[in-house]
Structure 1
Amino acid sequence: MERKLWGTAAGKQVELFTLDLGQGNSAAITNFGAALVSLYVRDRSGEVADVTLGYDSVQEYEQCTKYLGVVVGRYANRIAGAQFTLGGKEYQLAANDGRNHLHGGPGGFAKRVWDPEVISTETGEALKLSYFSPDGEEGYPGNLQVEVVYSPTGTGGLRIDYFASCDQDTVLNLTNHAYFNLAGHGSGPILDHELEICADFYTPADAESIPTGEILKVEGTPMDFGSKTAIGARIDADFCQLRYAGGYDHNWVLRRTGSGLELAARVEHAPTGRVMEVLTTKPGIQFYTGNYLDGVAGKGGAKYEWRGGFCLETQFFPDSPHQAHFPCPILRAGERYAHSTIYQFSTK
């Protein structure tokens, strides 16, 4: 694995690691925000392109407000009213998305320097990133030890394993916030990508992107990606959920048969032949179409315009601490949090 000094943040050394994924693919990861900086993937003709949005420097990640490629936590997505009750005690969080809490708050995991370690796995060298989140950080209870492991799948893909334990009951929902564009980052809108999501239901949200608590069928609505459909086919439909979010920014309820890794979504880009499959152990996936990208200055002078990237964030459902019928995001004291996601690549 290649590694180089990339800068400093909060008085700590920040490095950039290049992970060989095999089959000509590779990933660049930094220990600032545990961020996936670049993901180089071959197309059907063997040409390599970087298919994730990102930045060229640590300073840009420090200032980033779009969460490009970072690990977010303690709680990915939104918690209504920036508070939750656990064990009869109310915990107040930062209101950093209107009156609500988003992606762990302004001092969440995306803004922390993680401790790196190169480790060996059956599929090759991997990168383990560790972070200790003290009791009360961003308002959350308990001393939490977190590990994120980036490793090759052995077949050209990238695997992310999330582990954690805490000395108190807490809520935890970790994900990676990578934005993808299979044409190559900075290549314009992703509306021609064809998407399939393995879900029959989704959780509708209000105008603040907070789930209403309903679990509705996707059938007969623009939320139906049960079969391969262009992202742009219905994105501007006269449908309240799309009007609220300015496009897609919703949680789908994945069809699951067990607790292991299962296919959650598949994306195809016909012009290049690139195919990405997302597998996960999580119960939900947030599909987001870059509705708030607004000419962000990215890597290599690229400009990330509106709908210039899409996210497929594997997760517990948004605002689950307030929705008892959603899958439970509580990590009990002494228990082990362990979830995995794979981004697998191929061509057709």
Structure 2
Amino acid sequence: MEVIEKVLPNGWKKFIVKNDFGISISALDYGGIITEINVPDRRGTVENVVLSYKNYEDYIEDPNYFGALIGRVAGRVDGSFFHLNGETYVLDSNDGDNSLHGGNQGFHKKIWNAAPFQMTGAAGVEFTVEIPDLEGGYPGSLSVKITYELTNQNQFSINYQAVSDQDTAVTLTNHSYFNLSGNVKRTVRDHKIKINSNHYVELDENLIPTGEIKSNESTPFDLNRESTLQTGIESSHQQIQLAGRGFDHYFIFNETEEENLSLKDEKSGRALRVHTNQPGMVLYTGNNLNSDHLLETGPAQKHSGLCLETQASPASLHHGGFPSVFLKANEPYEKKTTFTFATI
């Protein structure tokens, strides 16, 4: 195990974490952005399985949030406001009338304090930042620590910790786009996915939750049995069409000791399993990606990658019955998502 630290020409720091079995993770102190997750295929060929820009400058104004840490609240907040303790808090509107992924100064824009670490069988980087009261419109000063850790069991874990001095709203995630083909050889349409979930959240035409939690049964959202993404993407289901011919939906996980989801690319033989203590996940299939976005491997295209955004639901700010993003003052926020890489 080792961690290599580099200073880029623009002053950002880049950290490369390697294990003893050919897997490496590269991340920036800017936005905590993951630029590479290099994983061997069934033949031992090591390639990058997340989307990354060819030019680092493209991360500064990135509509896709490639690889970034997302907060204070991941996802879209309807109308850019919420009520808490008798007060109305008005948020940054950066997605039409709505607030997306923490607003204009979200976690993806921060230069994080970054400290690499190594221990027996594991290594990584600890990112910390202090967020002032009312930044982006959210109440409370928020202390945040997020740890990226890679082990010799080929597991990559993201540990999210935060505490606020006031009641507030928090749900954190990472916005990496996975493509297990390696170096974006193909789209993710042929990837096979299984999600341990019986319910998804219905969206309106602005991709805002309607307040309805729907059963997956007999819909393209029933991914309890392994299914090829293309099957869902090509569906005529109204929810698939309004999201831009793909998924951009929150799945509520079933309560189980089993993995929350699995992903496979049969051509490369790469497989990914995800375990988390988050209550659900947004599956986004890169419906808005296009050739204007120049990746390290060339122009992007629709469905070049998919996001597995484990988090609670911002719909809880306006509707009952959703996994809540509210956090009490001085109550620790502690969430963890682990990605386990393997071959088939």
TM-score (norm 2): 0.96
Displacement after TM superposition at 1:123 (Å): 3.3
What are the ranges of 5 or more consecutive residues in structure 1 without an aligned counterpart?
none
CA contact (8 A) 2:198 2:222 kept: yes
Q: What does residue 336 of structure 1 align with?
A: 332
Q: What does residue 148 of structure 1 align with?
A: 146
* Alignment of structure 1 residues 275-286 onto 2, 5 Å: 275-286=271-282
- Correspondence 1:311 to 2:307: yes
What is the aligned counterpart of 2:69 among 47, 66, 71? 71
Q: What does residue 166 of structure 2 align with?
A: 168
* Alignment of structure 1 residues 90-129 onto 2, 5 Å: 90-121=88-119, 123-129=121-127
Amino acid at match of 2:76: R
Per-residue Cα deviation, 1:301-339 (whole angstroms, up to 9, x for no partner): 521111111111101023221122112211111111000
What is the aligned counterpart of 2:322 among 300, 322, 326? 326
How many aligned residue pairs are there?
A: 341
| Structure 1 residues 221 and 196: alpha-carbon distance in aligned structure 2, compared to 1, 3 A threshold | same
Q: What does residue 252 of structure 2 align with?
A: 253
Work out the CA distance in 2 between the residues paired with 1:22 and 1:212: 47
Q: What does residue 34 of structure 1 align with?
A: 32
Work out the CA distance in 2 between the residues paired with 1:17 and 1:30: 6
Per-residue Cα deviation, 1:25-66 (whole angstroms, up to 9, x for no partner): 110011100111100000000001101001244422112111
CA contact (8 A) 1:32 1:58 kept: no
Amino acid at match of 2:271: V
Amino acid at match of 1:282: Q
Work out the CA distance in 1 between the residues paired with 2:8 and 2:318: 40
What are the ranges of 5 or more consecutive residues in structure 2 without an aligned counterpart?
none
Work out the CA distance in 2 between the residues paired with 1:184 and 1:296: 21
Work out the CA distance in 2 between the residues paired with 1:26 and 1:45: 17
Work out the CA distance in 1 between the residues paired with 2:291 and 2:54: 16
Displacement after TM superposition at 1:127 (Å): 0.4
CA contact (8 A) 2:127 2:147 kept: yes
Work out the CA distance in 2 between the residues paired with 1:179 and 1:315: 16
Displacement after TM superposition at 1:284 (Å): 0.6
CA contact (8 A) 2:69 2:175 kept: yes
Q: What does residue 259 of structure 2 align with?
A: 263
Work out the CA distance in 2 between the residues paired with 1:21 and 1:61: 26
CA contact (8 A) 1:50 1:185 kept: yes
Work out the CA distance in 1 between the residues paired with 2:220 and 2:327: 34
Work out the CA distance in 2 between the residues paired with 1:58 and 1:268: 29
- Secondary structure of the equivalent of 1:209? coil
Q: What does residue 215 of structure 1 align with?
A: 213
CA contact (8 A) 1:21 1:27 kept: no
Work out the CA distance in 1 between the residues paired with 2:51 and 2:171: 22
CA contact (8 A) 1:26 1:39 kept: yes
Displacement after TM superposition at 1:154 (Å): 2.8
Per-residue Cα deviation, 1:152-181 (whole angstroms, up to 9, x for no partner): 133112110000011111100100000011
Displacement after TM superposition at 1:340 (Å): 0.3
Q: What does residue 86 of structure 1 align with?
A: 84
What is the aligned counterpart of 1:5 among 4, 7, 31? 7
Work out the CA distance in 2 between the residues paired with 1:36 and 1:332: 30
Work out the CA distance in 2 between the residues paired with 1:226 and 1:49: 29
Amino acid at match of 1:203: V
Work out the CA distance in 2 between the residues paired with 1:46 and 1:301: 20
Work out the CA distance in 2 between the residues paired with 1:85 and 1:294: 37
| Structure 1 residues 142 and 49: alpha-carbon distance in aligned structure 2, compared to 1, 3 A threshold | same
CA contact (8 A) 1:290 1:308 kept: yes
- Secondary structure of the equivalent of 2:268? coil
Work out the CA distance in 2 between the residues paired with 1:98 and 1:299: 26
- Secondary structure of the equivalent of 2:59? helix
Amino acid at match of 1:293: L
Amino acid at match of 1:38: E
Amino acid at match of 1:80: D
* Root mean square deviation, CA, Å: 1.4
CA contact (8 A) 2:232 2:240 kept: no
CA contact (8 A) 1:16 1:28 kept: yes
CA contact (8 A) 1:6 1:58 kept: no
Work out the CA distance in 2 between the residues paired with 1:4 and 1:44: 30
- Correspondence 1:196 to 2:194: yes
Work out the CA distance in 1 between the residues paired with 2:140 and 2:247: 34
CA contact (8 A) 1:123 1:151 kept: no
Displacement after TM superposition at 1:68 (Å): 0.3
Deviates more, 1:40-49 or 1:15-24: 15-24
TM-score (norm 1): 0.94
- Secondary structure of the equivalent of 1:233? helix
- Secondary structure of the equivalent of 1:251? strand
